[in-house]
């Protein structure tokens, strides 16, 4: 059963690549937005908070459609990115990564924001009296202390990105070798006669992948916690 | 010689702090009951709290002047601060905590200075531990070492013994006496406990309800027979 076809390997590799790239790109933005929401009060904060959480509440098809309108070949942002940076999202794996990042973003921001809110600000004051500028305080005190929250956010976003289906298929379609992830492949196999066996194999892959991710997550967060509480 | 000159005003809710004092070398004790504004005052000296009006100078440099709009940020004041609760960084080892100030200033490592201060405070055997594994007294000694190793021009100590039980208080006091006699760093020591001030201070500034009640030597403590004022 486990001599995977080329198409299946491709779907697996694509899913992982898309989830990793989406998570990596989302991370700095999620830290910035989490920090803004946790630490600053400014006009439009409620709007920003709402916008960030929108993909969590909207039907994924709607998110995918909005991405298509804005980042598609004729979309204003899509045209701009293509003309000035040569970046194309439409019907490419990069578009799938964008969709996955947008869908995972709210799940990443939330734990990071909570972690930043729970940090004892007096430690940052202490660091300042020891000669650390605001930037150094952020990178040597704030960020390391928020690490458990950051790890939690990364894992949630990664998991969401790995399973993303609705927004992705709406935005970049279901092209084998380009945008066909495991979820999309399962969906495709279920549409064709005799596709059950292939779909079952992909389902097993999905389960194995999820288990590996969970075990890895547990290990990572344990390491982060022992850094604070252990010897 | 005057090291520190403070002349500040700050409104804190219904409470008004109006303080004018000078400190020379040695240990200047800011002495007074809880709620006299002592912590707010040292926070202003450190740059963590901005006065409404006034001026603070340290070694002939102005670190704060409301009229001239000068407000040197805390990380450029080079004023060491030992907080009541230590505030060691929980994600760093004792060694890394002690080394933090040097790293932030980009100074090269000076092993002999590090060893000398660790030995002075009796924390050499704790270097690889995390702050969580330390007793209250050990934590405060590390906090003192951390502030000293940033080579401060002035050291502020805000009730460094207040969070310790009496046994651990006795453990720290001798280190502070040695510090006063061996390290040539002027110190401002906040306390509401007469016995501590009597052992340490060279000058006493008595604060009461946000104002300087009197300034002088240890004779100011003559009337305070009680262990603590509050």
Give the ipTM of the model, two decimals please.
0.91
- As given in the structure block, the two tokens for residue A80 are 């701009």
Residue A32: pLDDT over 80: yes
CA pair distance A90, A87, nearest whole angstrom: 10
Residue B227 and residue B67 in contact, taking contact as beta carbons nearer than 8 Å: no
Work out whether the CA dihedral A22, A28, A29, A34 comes out positive or negative: positive
Residue A230: pLDDT over 60: no
Average pLDDT on B205-216 reads 88
B153 touches chain A (CB under 8 A): no
Q: How far is B8 from chain A (nearest CA, A)?
A: 20
CA pair distance B80, B143, nearest whole angstrom: 10
CATH code at B4-89+155-221: 3.40.50.300
Average pLDDT on B144-162 reads 93
Say if the Cβ atoms of A140 and B133 lie within 8 Å: no
* DSSP character string of A108-134: HHHHHHHHHHHS-HHHHHHHHHTT--H
Q: Which residues in chain A touch residue B100, judged by CB atoms under 8 angstroms apart?
A: 127, 130, 132, 140
Residue B224: pLDDT over 80: no
Say if the Cβ atoms of A129 and B46 lie within 8 Å: yes
B40 touches chain A (CB under 8 A): no
Q: Which residue has the higher pLDDT, A217 or A188?
A: A188
Q: Which residues in chain B touch residue A150, judged by CB atoms under 8 angstroms apart?
A: none
| Structure confidence by residue, pLDDT tens digits, A94-133 | 999 999 999 999 999 999 999 999 999 999 999 999 999 9
Say if the Cβ atoms of B89 and A141 lie within 8 Å: yes
Q: Single out the residue of A71, A226, A28, A228 nearest to residue A141, CA to CA.
A: A228
Which among B75, B83, B91 has the least Cβ separation from residue A131?
B75
- Ramachandran angles phi, psi of A91, nearest 5°: 55, 30
* DSSP character string of A195-209: -HHHHHHHHHHHHHH
Beta-carbon-side half-sphere exposure of residue B142 (alpha carbons within 13 Å): 32
C-alpha A131, offset from chain centre: 36
Residue B89 and residue B129 in contact, taking contact as beta carbons nearer than 8 Å: no
For A39, residues 6+ apart whose C-beta sits below 8 A from its C-beta are A116
CA pair distance A41, A31, nearest whole angstrom: 16
Residue B113: pLDDT over 80: yes
Instruction: Report the 10 Å Cβ neighbour count for A93.
Output: 20
Residue A148 and residue A115 in contact, taking contact as beta carbons nearer than 8 Å: yes
For A12, residues 6+ apart whose C-beta sits below 8 A from its C-beta are A4, A182, A205, A209
Provide the angle, in degrees to the nearest 10, between the axes of the packed helices A60-71 and A93-118: 110
* DSSP character string of B59-73: TTEEEEETTTTEE--
Residue B211 and residue B16 in contact, taking contact as beta carbons nearer than 8 Å: no
The separation between the first and the last C-alpha atoms of chain A, rounded to the nearest angstrom, is: 47
Structural domains in chain A, sorted by start: 6-229 (1.10.3720.10)
Q: How far is A128 from chain B (nearest CA, A)?
A: 5
Say if the Cβ atoms of A228 and B48 lie within 8 Å: no
For residue A190, give the H/E element and its range. Answer: helix A182-191
Residue ranges per domain, chain B?
4-89+155-221
Q: How far is B202 from chain A (nearest CA, A)?
A: 25
| Structure confidence by residue, pLDDT tens digits, A58-79 | 999 999 999 999 999 889 999 9
Work out whether the CA dihedral A201, A206, A207, A209 comes out positive or negative: positive
Say if the Cβ atoms of B74 and A144 lie within 8 Å: no
Say if the Cβ atoms of B74 and A123 lie within 8 Å: no
pLDDT reported for residue B75: 95
Q: Which residue has the higher pLDDT, B146 or A227?
A: B146
Residue A45: pLDDT over 90: yes
B146 touches chain A (CB under 8 A): yes
- As given in the structure block, the two tokens for residue A222 are 């344990």
Residue B46: pLDDT over 60: yes
Residue A151: pLDDT over 70: yes
β-partners of residue B8 are: B19, B54
Helix-, strand-, coil-residue percentages of chain B, each rounded to 5:
35, 30, 35
Residue B65 and residue B113 in contact, taking contact as beta carbons nearer than 8 Å: no
Say if the Cβ atoms of A127 and B105 lie within 8 Å: no
CA pair distance B107, A72, nearest whole angstrom: 52
- Ramachandran angles phi, psi of B106, nearest 5°: 75, 15
Average pLDDT on B62-68 reads 95
pLDDT reported for residue B229: 46
Q: How far is B47 from chain A (nearest CA, A)?
A: 8
Prediction pTM value: 0.87
pLDDT reported for residue B227: 47
Position B217 confidence tier, pLDDT thresholds 50, 70, 90: confident
Q: Which residues in chain B touch residue A141, judged by CB atoms under 8 angstroms apart?
A: 89
Which of A83-87, A159-163, A185-189, B213-217 shows the lowest mean pLDDT across its residues? B213-217
Which among B78, B80, B104 has the least Cβ separation from residue A132?
B104
B81 touches chain A (CB under 8 A): yes
Q: Which residues in chain A touch residue B85, judged by CB atoms under 8 angstroms apart?
A: 122
Position B228 confidence tier, pLDDT thresholds 50, 70, 90: very low
């Amino acid at each position: 059963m486990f001599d995977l076809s080329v198409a299946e390997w491709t779907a697996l590799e694509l899913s992982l690549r898309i989830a990793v790239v989406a998570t990596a790109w989302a991370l700095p933005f999620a830290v910035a937005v989490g920090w803004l929401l946790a630490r600053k009060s400014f006009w439009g904060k409620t709007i920003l908070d709402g916008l960030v959480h929108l993909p969590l509440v909207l039907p994924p098809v709607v998110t995918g459609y909005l991405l298509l309108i804005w980042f598609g070949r004729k979309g204003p942002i899509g045209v701009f990115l293509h003309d000035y940076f040569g970046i194309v999202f439409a019907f490419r794996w990069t578009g799938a990564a964008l969709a996955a990042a947008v869908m995972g973003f709210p799940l990443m921001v939330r734990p990071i924001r909570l972690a930043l809110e729970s940090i004892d600000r007096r430690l940052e004051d202490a660091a300042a009296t020891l000669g650390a500028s605001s930037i150094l305080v952020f990178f040597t005190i704030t960020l390391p202390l928020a690490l458990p929250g950051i790890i939690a956010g990364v894992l949630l976003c990664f998991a969401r990105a790995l399973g993303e289906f609705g927004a992705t298929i709406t935005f970049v379609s279901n092209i084998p070798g380009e945008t066909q992830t495991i979820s999309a492949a399962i969906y495709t196999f279920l549409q064709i006669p005799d596709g059950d066996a292939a779909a079952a194999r992909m389902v097993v892959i999905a389960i194995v992948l999820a288990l590996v991710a969970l075990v890895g997550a547990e290990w990572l967060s344990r390491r982060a916690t022992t850094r604070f509480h252990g010897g | 010689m005057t090291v520190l000159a403070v002349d500040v005003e700050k409104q804190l809710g219904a409470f008004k702090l109006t303080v004018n004092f000078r400190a020379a070398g040695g240990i200047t004790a800011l002495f007074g009951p809880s709620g006299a504004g002592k912590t707010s005052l040292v926070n202003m000296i450190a740059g963590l709290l901005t006065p409404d009006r006034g001026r603070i100078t340290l070694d002939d440099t102005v670190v704060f002047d409301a009229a001239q709009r000068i407000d040197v940020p805390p990380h450029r004041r080079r004023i060491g601060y030992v907080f009541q609760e230590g505030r060691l960084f929980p994600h760093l080892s004792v060694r890394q905590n002690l080394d933090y100030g040097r790293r932030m200033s980009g100074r090269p490592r000076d092993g002999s200075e590090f060893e000398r201060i660790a030995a002075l405070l009796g924390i050499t055997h704790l270097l690889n531990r995390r702050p969580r594994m330390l007793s209250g007294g050990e934590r405060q000694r590390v906090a003192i070492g951390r502030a000293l190793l940033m080579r401060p021009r002035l050291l502020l100590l805000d009730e460094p013994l207040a969070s310790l039980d009496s046994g651990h208080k006795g453990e720290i006091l001798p280190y502070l006496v040695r510090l006063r006699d061996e390290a040539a760093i002027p110190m401002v020591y906040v306390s509401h406990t007469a016995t501590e001030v009597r052992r340490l201070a060279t000058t006493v500034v008595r604060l009461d309800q946000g104002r300087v009640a009197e300034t002088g030597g240890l004779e100011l403590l003559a009337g305070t027979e009680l262990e603590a004022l509050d």
